[in-house]
Amino acid sequence: MKKTLKIAILLCLAAMVTICLASCNKQPATPQETTPATTTPAETTPDGKLPEEEVKYSTGLEYATHPSIGDGNCFIVGVSTWEDTDICIPPEIDGYKVIGIANGAFNAEAFSECKQMTSITLPNTILYIGDAAFNACYGLTSITIPDGVQIIDAGAFHRCENVTSITIPNSVTEIRYGVFEFCLNLTTVTIPDSITKIDDSVFAGCEKLESVIIPNSVTSIGKQAFAMCYSMTSITIPDSVTSIGVGAFFSCTSLTTITFEGTVEQWNAMTFGDNWNLQVPATEVICSNGVVPLN
């Protein structure tokens, strides 16, 4: 049975998606209801390659269209029934190109069954992953973020407690507030050089995060970005960084080595938020031409 489309879900995404589609010259679509998907057997995998075995896309997915996301496009807005634990979203549903995952689409607060989800595979048609799209999907252990995604919105994978590693593709330009906050078992993450800012609380509470490479495209580290990353023992900050936010490394209680790839003079010119290194055992910052003592 069709459900009434909650227009607000898509309207609140309009600005972000318009940016993503600006170069695509899309025309407006006619608003439609949220619709249960009917999928046909796939001829290609989500990355466009011919499979050795036919891909089995998930059933029960619901989608919606709206003028704000362009003619012929749709967002996944939820799921009506759960039959799979390994979710594979098709690149096209009922003739509509799947370009995004709507805010809260698989949020445990709305779909408690998402605790059954163990992996998610997205097609490379996806441009946008919405606010809290997979929030609190506790069973999720594997996430494949395809090349093509441009924005991962606030809290998209918040409290995905059993995910252990994540690779963010080069197409991503923004990872917003708290995207991976409290991913308790996340140990490694790869940040591409397309990212210019590590937003507030992005990795806060990732207790087992041991390794993160910050690319030299990053210019700022947000408030509490790495707070309570108890397993992090060292961090290398590129000389492109000019500001570190309030409590950025708060309570990183194993962090003994901080390396800055710039000079002492560049470090001293940095803008620091209050308590950026509170409860951090490191006593100095190692720069390219000397060391800077920490209080």
Q: Is residue 216 in some structural domain?
A: no
Number of domains in the chain: 1
Q: What mean pLDDT comes out for the span 250-266?
A: 98
Range from 21-35, 215-229, 258-272 carrying the lowest mean pLDDT? 21-35
Domain that holds residue 99: 1-186
Q: Is residue 66 in some structural domain?
A: yes
Q: Is residue 6 in some structural domain?
A: yes
For 31-90, write each residue's pLDDT tens digit. 344 555 554 444 455 555 545 456 789 888 889 998 888 999 999 988 777 667 888 899
For 140-171, write each residue's pLDDT tens digit. 888 889 999 999 999 999 999 999 988 899 99
Q: Is residue 265 in some structural domain?
A: no
Q: Say what the pLDDT of residue 47 is.
A: 52
Q: Say what the pLDDT of residue 108 is.
A: 53
Q: Is residue 195 in some structural domain?
A: no
How far apart (Å, rounded) are the C-alpha atoms in residues 163 and 141?
4
Range from 48-52, 172-176, 239-243 carrying the lowest mean pLDDT? 48-52
Q: Is residue 240 in some structural domain?
A: no
- Is pLDDT above 90 for 110? no
Q: Which CATH number does the domain housing residue 25 bear? A: 3.80.10.10
- Is pLDDT above 80 for 117? yes
Q: Is residue 270 in some structural domain?
A: no
For 21-41, write each residue's pLDDT tens digit. 443 333 323 234 455 555 444
- Is pLDDT above 50 for 267? yes
Q: What mean pLDDT comes out for the span 89-103?
A: 94
